Structure 1
Amino acid sequence: MSTQAQSTTQELETRLAEISLDIERQKEVQEGLERNKKLVQRQLNALRDPVARLPLELSSEIFLQCLSQWHNPRPGAHSAPMLFLNICTAWTNIAVSLPALWDTIVIHLPCATGFEEGLDRWLRRAGGRSLHISLHGTIEPDVAACIWRYAASMKSLDIISFENEDVPVDGDIHHWQLLGGTMPQESLPRLQKLRIRGAYEDAICSWTPVLQLLQLSPNLVDLRLENMTFGDADDLDEDLVLPNLRQLKYTGYGLDGGLEGNTLCWLSAPSLESITVSPSIFEDTEPDAISSFLERSSPPLRELKMSRLSGPQDFTWLETCLTLSPIAGLNHFDVATPLPRVLDRFLTILEQPPSSALPALQTVILRRVHLDPDYFPAHYWNRLARALTSRRSQLRTVRVILSDEEWPLSQEIRGQFAGLLEDGMQVYIGAEGFGGKNLLLPQS
Structure 2
Amino acid sequence: MLSTSADLRARPAELDASIVELRLPLKALDVQASVQRSLDGIVYPVLTLPPEIMSNIFLHCLHLPNLDDQRRTGPTPIHAPLLLLQVCRAWREIALSTPHLWVFLHVDLDRLTERLPYPEIETIVADWFGRAGSCPLTLSLCCELRRTFANGIRGILHPLAQRLQSLYLGVSWHQFKDLADIGPFPILETLALSATTSQGQSRVPLKLFSTAPRLHQIFFTRFATPSMFVLPCEVFQISCDDLIAQECLDLLKALPFLQISTACVYDDNFDPEYITHHHLKTLRLHSGGSTRFLRSLRLPALQNLHLTSDITYHNGNDYFSTFLASTSLRRFRADHPIESLSVEWFAAAMLGLVDLELDLPGHQFLREFLGMLDRNRDGAFLPHLRTLVFRRRMFGLDASMLGALSSRCTAGDENLADLESFQQILYPMSASLADAFARDNAMSLVACRELVERGLAVLHVGPAGQNLV
Measured against the shorter chain, the TM-score band is: 0.5 to 0.7
In 2 relative to 1, CA 90–230 (structure 1 residues): closer, same or farther, beyond 3 Å?
Answer: same
* Contact 2:305 2:333 (8 Å CA) reproduced: yes
Given residue 63 of structure 1, which amino acid in structure 2 is its aligned partner?
A: F
2:468 aligns to what?
Answer: 439
- Using the aligned pairs only, state the percent identity: 22
Pick from 329, 335, 343 the counterpart of residue 366 of structure 2: 343
C-alpha distance in structure 2 between counterparts of 1:292 and 1:107, whole Å: 48
- The structural deviation recorded for 1:238 is 3.2
User: Does residue 75 of structure 1 match 2:74?
Assistant: yes
Amino acid aligned to 2:157: C
Could you say which residue in structure 2 is the equivalent of 1:429?
Answer: 461
**In the alignment, is the contact (CA less than 8 A) between 1:430 and 1:439 conserved in 2?**
yes
The 1:242–1:263 alpha-carbon spacing in structure 2 relative to 1, beyond 3 Å, is farther
Measure the CA separation in 2 of the matches of 1:269 and 1:132: 36
Alignment deviations for residues 38-81 of structure 1 (CA, whole Å, 9 cap, x no partner): xxxxxxxxxxx998986442332232122268999953241222
Q: Is the 8 A contact 2:97 2:131 kept in 1?
A: yes
1:334, distance to aligned residue in structure 2 (A):
1.5
Instruction: From the superposition, tell whether residues 319 and 216 of structure 1 become closer, same or farther in structure 2 (CA, over 3 Å).
Output: farther
Distance 2:106 2:85 in 1: 18
Cα deviation, 1:106-152, whole Å, max 9, x if unaligned, reads 66785433467755665665556565667899698765993993254
> What SS does structure 1 have at the residue aligned with 2:112?
coil
RMSD between superposed Cα atoms in Å: 4.9
Q: Distance in 1 between matches of 2:197 and 2:332?
A: 35
1:230 corresponds to which residue? 243
Structure 2 partner of 1:64: 59
Instruction: Look up the SS of the partner of 2:423 in the other structure.
Output: strand
Post-superposition Cα deviations, 1:375-403, rounded to whole Å, max 9, x if no partner, equal x3x5x733222221222221121110110
SS of residue paired to 1:401: strand
Q: 2:403 aligns with which of 363, 379, 386?
A: 386
Q: Distance in 1 between matches of 2:207 and 2:144?
A: 13
How far apart, CA to CA, are the structure 2 residues paired with 1:99 and 1:285?
A: 58
Paired residues of 1:333 and 1:364 also in contact (CA < 8 A) = yes
Q: Give 1:43's aligned residue.
A: none
- Conserved in 2, the CA contact under 8 Å of 1:52 and 1:59? no
Q: Which residue does the alignment assign to 2:333?
A: 305
How far the C-alpha of 1:292 sits from its partner, in A, is: 5.9
Q: What's 1:36 paired with? A: none
Q: 1:216 to 1:323 in 2, by over 3 A?
A: farther
Q: Say yes or no: does 1:253 pair with 2:284.
A: no
Instruction: Go from structure 1 to structure 2 and tell me whether the alpha carbon gap of 1:263 and 1:400 turns closer, same or farther (over 3 Å shift).
Output: same
Pair 1:362 & 2:386 matched: yes
Quote the residue 1:281 is aligned against: 311
Partners of 1:286 and 1:295 in 2: CA distance: 16
SS of 1:335's equivalent in the other structure is strand
**Greater C-alpha radius of gyration:** 2
Which runs of 5 or more residues in structure 2 are unaligned?
1-43, 165-184, 201-205, 261-280, 411-417
Q: Match of 1:241, SS?
A: coil
Q: 2:233 touches 2:256 (CA, 8 Å); kept in 1?
A: no
Letter in 1 for 2:311: I
Corresponding residue for residue 216 of structure 1: 232
Are 1:323 and 1:357, in contact at CA under 8 Å, matched by a contact in 2? no
Out of 242, 255, 260, which is 2:257 matched to? 242
User: What TM-score comes out, normalization by structure 1 length?
Assistant: 0.59
Change (3 A) 1:354 1:128: farther
For 2:427 and 2:90, the matched residues in 1 are separated by 56
Where does residue 146 of structure 1 map in the other structure? Answer: 157
CA distance in 2, matches of 1:286, 1:102: 55
Deviations 1:154-203 (A, max 9, x none): 44456789xxxx767xxxxxx9xxxxx995242362545x55567xxxxx
Q: What amino acid is aligned across from residue 81 of structure 1 in structure 2?
A: P
Could you tell me the TM-score, scaled by structure 2's length? 0.56
Aligned to 1:34: none
Matched residues in 2 for 1:424 and 1:207: separation? Answer: 48
SS of structure 1 residue aligned to 2:370: helix
> How far apart in 2 are the matches of 1:110 and 1:263?
41
Shift of 1:365: 1.1
Alignment-derived partner of residue 421 in structure 2: 397
CA distance in 1, matches of 2:298, 2:356: 22
d(CA) in 1 for partners of 2:316, 2:383:
28
CA deviation after TM superposition for structure 1 residue 347, in Å: 2.9
Q: Distance in 2 between matches of 1:424 and 1:50?
A: 47
User: Kindly tell me: are residues 93 and 416 of structure 1, through their superposed partners in 2, closer, same or farther at Cα, counting changes over 3 Å?
Assistant: closer
Conservation of the 8 A alpha-carbon contact between 1:397 and 1:427? yes
Offset at 1:101? 2.0
* Structure 2 counterparts to residues 45-124 of structure 1, below 5 A: 55-67=50-62, 74-78=73-77, 79-84=79-84, 94-105=94-105, 111-113=111-113, 114=118, 118=124, 122=128
What letter is aligned with 1:330? Answer: L
